[in-house]
Amino acid sequence: MKAAVLYAPKDLRVETARDPAPGAGEALVRVRAAGLCGTDFRLWSGDRPARYPLIMGHEFVGEVAAVGSGVENVKPGDSVAVEPNYSCGTCPLCREGNRNLCLSRTAVGIDVDGGLAELAHIPARCCWAAPAGLSPEQLLLTEPLAVVVRAVNRGAVRAGETAAVLGTGTLGLLAVQVLKSRGARVLAVSRSDRRFSLVRELGAEAVHSLAAGSGAEAARRLSGREGVDVVVETAGTPEAVAEALGLGRPGGRVVLTGLPHEPSQVHFFGVVRRELTIVGSMIYQDEFPEAMRLLKTGAVKAEPLVTHRFRLDAVGEAFSAHQSPASIKVAVIP
């Protein structure tokens, strides 16, 4: 099979490797589409250390080609979305159901070989059988969508509430759609106005560019009161985290799901004075089925988000495209 192997920072080579065979409890997946995200970019650039050589790719979907012994949840021929994280299963966090918080989590495509390849072998429990009728490119959005579904659930969003979404990348554009599907009215806040027509098409009622300063006034305008009920932060920049805390009404909730790798300057006076609830939301636990349901019903549209497609041989170009402001989700089709 062909695979994109990272040997060192920025040394990514497409090579022919031996076809993997599924071990006990594993599924062998024929990859139909793989997506790039900021995490892949950080691995590729060396910002995030990895063990080399590594077959990259954690967002991928495909068909089960074979299964090892003891596998019951999927069978050859099934179309699957891959949950690219698996937990130890034995620690207190895992046993109480918080497997996304497990400190011994294994990330496919980061800690072990992933899906920027024609074939990938992974624990079968990472495979979620997909409903019929979803294309590989639609299914590809399941993983980031599961992140967003969890964030919206952590924010306990109710119909009729107002919400602000920080960031108009993949997660932000998905968050707007999930919030809309829950009956919330949504303000999209972004550093630039580049995606404002798209985000409006996807359901945002109002937009605000941070180039014009804080979105607090826009949040008051949309909500008709002191701020929005719930804020979902997807950008993960220090500025976005600080901004998120300024958009919620007194008594409001702020869900942080973008991963802020750098510290933020936060004035906590406002958090106390307005009794904000700040909630972290880490990837997903069991949100894959709901994510696939939202794609299947059309409540969430994936097509406008997949802006670029490359063959595996052109994975270098795929990484260049990922850096371009014109790209949202870059797909690699092995």
Q: How many residues at the interface with Zn ion, by CB under 5 A?
A: 8
Please report, as residue ranges, which positions from 23 to 82 form the binding site for Zn ion (by CB under 5 A).
Answer: 37, 39, 59
| Binding status of residue 259 toward Zn ion by CB under 5 A | no
The one among 1, 14, 88, 266 contacting Zn ion by CB under 5 A: 88
Nearer Cβ to Zn ion, position 162 or 327?
A: 327
Instruction: Write the binding mask 99 to 138 for Zn ion: x where contact by CB under 5 A, - elsewhere.
Output: ---x------------------------------------
| Binding status of residue 94 toward Zn ion by CB under 5 A | yes
Q: Which residues pair with 66 in a beta bridge?
A: 28
Give yes or no for a contact between 55 and 87, defined as CB atoms under 8 angstroms apart. no
| Binding status of residue 87 toward Zn ion by CB under 5 A | yes
> In sequence order, which ranges of the chain are alpha helices (DSSP H)?
38-45, 92-95, 136-139, 142-154, 170-181, 196-201, 216-223, 238-244, 269-273, 288-297, 315-323
**Shortest spacing between CB 203 and Zn ion, in angstroms:** 23
| Binding status of residue 146 toward Zn ion by CB under 5 A | no
Nearer Cβ to Zn ion, position 56 or 219?
A: 56
| Binding status of residue 198 toward Zn ion by CB under 5 A | no
| Residue 159 DSSP SS3 | coil
The end-to-end CA distance of the chain, in Å, is 10
CA dist., res. 321 & res. 295, Å (int): 25
Nearer Cβ to Zn ion, position 102 or 330?
A: 102
Binding piece for Zn ion, criterion CB under 5 A, among 45-53, 84-92, 192-200, 306-314 = 84-92
Q: Which residues bind Zn ion (CB under 5 A)?
A: 37, 39, 59, 87-88, 91, 94, 102
